[in-house]
Structure 1
């Protein structure tokens, strides 16, 4: 099952994506205009090479949990936009617009 939802972060519109996986926690993404928030399933090494801002949260099962979770990792492009480890997913997404 794949669910897609509109997400509002301080009036900014993003897209939330949740993919149910067999016998596993779901894959969760929040996609903003200039970057994305991803769960721990995504490959950090690959994301580190992207020029697109990427922030990682872990232990989440829903888009709302991803927005409330603490960012645990960011790539260089995210750092350049002011996104930092320790901020919430929602704070990171706001800086991706």
Structure 2
């Protein structure tokens, strides 16, 4: 099942997506600038492959989350290099990171 819901964080609008996959759930929260996600996806690829690095994807990843609320509260374990230009840093919560791109 795929669930897409608008969510508000301190008055700012984002889109939460939950995709149920076998034995895991893919979670993302995004706006038009960037997104945070669970560890079901790979952030490192956007830093390591030059062609992808050129896209300047703004993304962060949290580990061990099972719900959108947990994703917002969890510290980001990995971030893309491009997200640092928005003040993102590893260890900040997903909620904090999203507010920096709102």
**TM-score between both structures, scaled by the size of structure 1:** 0.91
Contact 2:43 2:60 in 1 (8 A): no
Matching of residue 93 in structure 1 with residue 98 in structure 2: yes
Larger radius of gyration: 2
Matching of residue 54 in structure 1 with residue 75 in structure 2: no
Contact 2:44 2:80 in 1 (8 A): no
Q: Distance in 2 between matches of 1:91 and 1:45?
A: 21
Partner of 1:26: 25
Question: Unaligned 5+ residue runs, structure 2?
Answer: 48-52
- Give deviations 1:29-84, integer Å, cap 9, x for gaps: 00122000011111223332241211111111111110011111111111110011
Question: Unaligned 5+ residue runs, structure 1?
Answer: none
What is the Cα-based RMSD across aligned positions, in Å?
Answer: 1.1
Q: Distance in 1 between matches of 2:32 and 2:100?
A: 10
Partner of 1:81: 86
Partner of 2:13: 13
Query: Residue 17 of structure 1: CA displacement?
Result: 0.3
Partner of 1:43: 42
Q: Distance in 2 between matches of 1:95 and 1:40?
A: 21
